[in-house]
């Protein structure tokens, strides 16, 4: 069974607000996969995909310029630390290799001094240096959200789940920023989201794992 519109609305209403979360920005190839992967994590509240790392103004998918496909996660720092997220980032790609195509490069963006410090600590504790890896390390200047059809891509392609948001009256921006959508997008992509999420998915694995 799929969640009801009421379950989605209650989940979103009870989720931590932006004043209780921090935001991390990464690039790991095509942004659909990591958007779902990180959305499954406990403590990750919201996700979105977009473009970052370049100089072009107002990039689009078909006019990306020198930007890279990236994704953001809003996370509860009492549950997940920036270092925890970095651990998954570095387990999800080979930091000693980099694709030549700018659109799909691996990048760790840092937005604050605390994130910079956590990254330095992570690299040192794992035998890496910023200059000794192929992964790009960059200060985040701006993140441009991608087009609506890229947001929650797996969820949009799982009609029984997606239809519930339509029934609840969510518009595209509300879907992009919905905590329930972040979890159900992960679920639609085949990730486990835990049984503590009251979203009607317990004992109901009908979508195909990827």
Cα–Cα separations (whole angstroms), residue 203 to 17, 158, 184, 209: 29, 17, 14, 15
53 is catalytic: no
Tokens describing residue 172: 């595209």
Torsion angles phi and psi, residue 22, rounded to 5: -120, 160
- Options 4, 5, 16, 30, the catalytic residue: 30
Contact 120, 110 (CB under 8 A): no
Tokens describing residue 64: 């990306």
Q: What is the DSSP letter of 83?
A: H
Hunting for tokens 């403590």 — which residue is that? 43
Q: Could you give the CA distance from residue 203 to residue 41 in angstroms, rounded to a whole number?
A: 19
Q: Could you give the CA distance from residue 147 to residue 50 in angstroms, rounded to a whole number?
A: 8
CA end-to-end span of the chain: 20
Contact 169, 7 (CB under 8 A): no
Active site positions, annotated? 30
């Amino acid at each position: 069974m799929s969640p009801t519109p009421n379950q989605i609305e209650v989940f979103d209403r009870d989720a931590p607000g932006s004043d209780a979360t921090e935001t991390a920005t990464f690039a790991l190839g095509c942004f659909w996969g990591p958007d779902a992967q990180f959305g499954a994590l406990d403590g990750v509240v919201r996700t979105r995909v977009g473009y970052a790392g370049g100089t072009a103004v107002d990039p689009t998918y078909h006019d990306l310029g020198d930007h890279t496909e990236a994704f953001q996660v809003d996370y509860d720092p009492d549950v997940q630390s920036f270092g925890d997220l970095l651990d998954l980032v570095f387990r999800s790609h080979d930091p000693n290799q980099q694709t030549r195509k700018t659109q799909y490069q691996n990048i760790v963006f840092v937005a604050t001094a605390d994130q910079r410090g956590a990254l330095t600590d992570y690299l040192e504790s794992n035998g890496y240096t910023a200059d000794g890896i192929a992964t790009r390390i960059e200060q985040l200047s701006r993140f441009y959200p991608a087009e609506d059809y890229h947001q929650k891509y797996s969820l949009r392609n799982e009609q029984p789940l997606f239809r519930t948001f339509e029934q609840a009256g969510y518009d595209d921006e509300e879907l992009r920023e919905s905590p329930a959508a972040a979890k159900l997008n992960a679920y639609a992509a085949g990730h486990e989201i835990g049984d503590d999420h009251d979203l009607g998915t317990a004992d109901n694995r009908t979508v195909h794992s990827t």
